[in-house]
Structure 1
Amino acid sequence: MSLAALRRGDLAGARVLRINEDLTEFPDEIFGLADTLEMLDLSGNRLTTLPADLGRLHRLKIFFGSRNRFDILPAALGDCPSLSQIGCRDAGLTHIPGESLPPALRWLTVTDNAIAELPAALGQRPALQKLLLSGNRLRALPETLSAAGNLELLRISANAFDVWPGWVASLPRLAWLAMAGNPYDPPRPPAEHRQIPWSSLSASSVLGEGASGVVHRMLWKAADPAAAQPVAVKLFKGRMTSDGAALDEMAAMLAIGQHPHLTAPLGAVTGHPEGVDGLVMPLLPESWRPLAGPPSFETCSRDVYDPALRLDRAAGLRLALGVAEATSHLHARGLIHGDLYAHNILWDGERGEAVLSDFGAAAFCPSGAKPADLQLVEMRAWGILAAEIADRCTDGFPALQDIATRCQQPDLTTRPLMDAVCADLRSL
């Protein structure tokens, strides 16, 4: 898509519009799409504001303005009656006025800005479901947010919180929480881990890439160069992600220890020629794949499964128990995974053998927080996952569904902890 095509009228009737052409002013021609436009992506331009009459885009549902120069989140966004998702990463934001938040707001991403305070109006948006605030200068959350009954995902990593906001754990639907990299983090001793010289790694090919790093397939020549071992090596990009800082992810991974259902590192890379941080991990079989895809714009906080996926009860139980045991292991070490989703589970595609991966949102329990409270938040995430697994069992799985339901109760005090769930699953 291009500005020239828009001006020629080639994009008439478009529902989605993306323009990245170093814009300094909002093109008035966009208003010609007011009766159809649902998603507007103006990321990567040099805009400092939006027109006061932006509300004329009455069908607009999604606005992306990342990597612009806004300073203040434009108040005109709040006048868009259908707008439910705003994404403004690394947009130069220092201030979010309450009037910039549309009444239908469901998903707000303002990662990697310089925001020091949030408006009380944020807690007065009843549809709010996902809130991504990592990489800002926040010292507190507005108390009104404690009434956000639909909030399910919260990212507050890499901010300036001195004190843990304890009421966060009581949010009835909260399931996915990232909170590392704040001053409230407890002091912890350096993790004991093996150091693996970069010179002992060779023959790289890319296996995949995520927000925090690139994973390579390499050969590791350990003590015996003649018996090189295939491994996966994650090289971190070092930049801020929606989950938090890459180095916090690395610190969490080095602390998880070994477990058959976790992608635990074998050691940390040393001596990279460009000073890049990295971890060496066991290489999974090539046939293993994610259990589901990540949430879409429509599903917001729910993963997207292959409609054809069907499991027998044995595979479903093996999946649910493996992830539960992995999570129990993390909880015992004082860690919260923070992103317990099917798209972060790699499995064999048949028997239900699986590992939990992606520790970008993982965190140690903050000073002043009760570990059990944060574990009970994560129990809801596991409960949602278990219900999704039960739904895909060919002959149904009422017993697993019952356990999943107990883990999702709005009252956290009625949810079981993970050790109890593991015991229940082993008895099935």
Structure 2
Amino acid sequence: MHTLAQLRAGELSGITRLDLSCGLTEFPVEIFDLAQTLEVLNLSGNALSSLPDDLHRLTRLRVLFCSDNQFAELPACLGQCAALTMVGFKANRIVDVPGAALPPQLRWLILTDNRIESLPSELGERPALQKLMLAGNRLRSLPQSLRHCHQLELIRIAANQLTELPQWLVTLPSLTWLAYAGNPLETEADAAALEATPLIDWSALRLEQQLGEGASGVISRAVWQRDDGATQAVAVKLYKGEMTSDGSPLHEMNACITAGLHPNLIRVEGRINDHPDQQHGLVMQLIDPSFRNLAGLPSLASCSRDVYAEDCRFSAQVALRIAKGIASAAEHLHRQGITHGDLYGHNILLNDLGDCLLGDFGAASFHATTDSLETRALQRLEVRAFGVLLGELLARIDSGLSVERRLALEELERRCCQADVLGRPGFSEVIELLQDN
């Protein structure tokens, strides 16, 4: 994090990224002194409510973060920034989004956790749009013009006021990751599954070290004193209750429970009962430390694609074991009326043998279990996500794959990712084809 004193003293000349979080109420004019080099500007965590009309003087600016400020309107000056591709205004007070505020090269827009009731038709006139984060607003509909965004791959519209999913949305040729939980349109979670989940008293848990923290909660290692007197090492996830980019953490908890048992999903032992601060939480299977993440999160440059370590390589046997496990888990979820919404390498844990677990249900949504064009289309979006994953695995196989088998798997990848959503295979067919390879 940089300081205002450094900026004003000219100590930051030539930098490409500036991070300032120091209670700003006005845009520091000294930022314009960096116009020749500045590409990423992060002004999150201040008290700003406006930006200068001549922001376009920052001619190299590609990425702008202004989350956790006090904006009531997306600034119109953004639309004049010719190089700007990524805009983030999460957790402000935004009600209005003028069409003039949308940069011509817009690729990634984050407006999570605001007060937006409608979006301008100009949003559909941004052909490079690839990632759209709108969870936690007051939207009742989406602009019809979005049907023209054929590069749109990820959209988060959870926790709004949508009463239906537009048919054109679920047939967008590139759409891959969709989260819509917490809207009136969503089928409710299986109440019987939620009620049948055992309650585990907080007093029966002894927390040890923290294992990780994400947007939705904190995971810790713990010891569970069972009713029969035995002890068991477990993982405890306490949910924060705040809106995340994917949606509500409590919807994530319900999806984890409703998912049920599958060898490629993390097992839920029970719900936490009688927490002193009334926090919601789950007690889950403790994952062996030999498991690691398959990939890293997408970067600013990769946008909607995971980042893999340069030395990440697999044998054909291990890669296909991963593919089969994840396809089986996804098919299981669809039978329960759940789309994962975030089927990505960075949400997969694996060991050296290719044993794998699909985690992170933050973007999961519920749909009807009966077959219809809509449920079929929703499930085929997830098939495209699997196709992307399969391609990433194939690119990293270093041994054991014949030319014939590779061609067959590449054809499966192509079919999973084809533009015709309903023309993609379902996961039952995907699994059959993988068994043949």
* Fold conserved between structures, TM > 0.5: yes
| TM-score normalised by length of structure 1 | 0.98
AA of the residue aligned to 2:358? L
- The percentage of counterpart residues that share the same residue type is 48
Q: CA deviation at 1:414?
A: 1.9
Q: Give secondary structure in 2 for the equivalent of 1:260.
A: coil
Q: CA deviation at 1:105?
A: 0.3
Q: Give secondary structure in 2 for the equivalent of 1:177.
A: strand
Q: CA deviation at 1:224?
A: 2.8
Instruction: Say whether 1:32 aligns with 2:40.
Output: no
Q: Which residue of 1 aligns with 2:416?
A: 407
| TM-score normalised by length of structure 2 | 0.96
AA of the residue aligned to 2:298? P
For residue 198 of structure 2, the aligned residue among 182, 185, 194 is 194
Instruction: Say whether 1:318 aligns with 2:327.
Output: no
Instruction: Say whether 1:370 aligns with 2:374.
Output: yes
**1:94/1:116 contact within 8 Å kept:** yes
AA of the residue aligned to 1:9? G
Distance 1:258 1:189 in 2: 14
Q: CA deviation at 1:243?
A: 0.3
User: Judging changes above 3 Å, is the alpha-carbon distance between structure 1 residues 269 and 369 closer, same or farther for their aligned structure 2 residues?
Assistant: farther
Matched residues, number = 426
Moved over 4 A (4+): 366-369
Distance 1:6 1:202 in 2: 47
Q: Give secondary structure in 2 for the equivalent of 1:249.
A: helix
Distance 2:189 2:288 in 1: 34
Distance 2:34 2:209 in 1: 44
Q: Give secondary structure in 1 for the equivalent of 2:168.
A: helix
Instruction: Say whether 1:330 aligns with 2:333.
Output: yes
Q: Which residue of 2 aligns with 1:417?
A: 426
1:99-114 equivalences in 2 (<5 Å): 99-114=100-115
AA of the residue aligned to 1:46? A
Q: Give secondary structure in 2 for the equivalent of 1:394.
A: strand
Q: Give secondary structure in 1 for the equivalent of 2:380.
A: helix
AA of the residue aligned to 1:163? E
CA-based RMSD of the aligned residues comes to 1.3
Distance 1:179 1:370 in 2: 13
Q: CA deviation at 1:188?
A: 4.5
**1:256/1:264 contact within 8 Å kept:** no
**1:164/1:366 contact within 8 Å kept:** no
Q: Which residue of 2 aligns with 1:240?
A: 243
1:166-245 equivalences in 2 (<5 Å): 166-190=167-191, 191=194, 192-225=196-229, 227-245=230-248
Q: CA deviation at 1:189?
A: 4.3
Q: CA deviation at 1:366?
A: 6.6
Distance 2:311 2:414 in 1: 24
Mean alpha-carbon deviation: is it higher for 82-91 or for 357-366?
357-366
Q: Which residue of 2 aligns with 1:143?
A: 144
Distance 1:298 1:188 in 2: 36
**1:218/1:231 contact within 8 Å kept:** yes
Q: CA deviation at 1:295?
A: 0.1
Q: Which residue of 2 aligns with 1:21?
A: 22
Mean alpha-carbon deviation: is it higher for 335-344 or for 249-258?
249-258
Q: CA deviation at 1:402?
A: 2.0
Q: Which residue of 2 aligns with 1:360?
A: 362
Q: Which residue of 2 aligns with 1:131?
A: 132
Distance 2:245 2:373 in 1: 23
AA of the residue aligned to 2:283? V
**1:67/1:92 contact within 8 Å kept:** no
For residue 255 of structure 1, the aligned residue among 258, 261, 268 is 258
For residue 426 of structure 1, the aligned residue among 401, 417, 435 is 435
- Deviation per CA, 1:240-270: give whole Å up to 9, x if none: 0000001111111110010000113111111
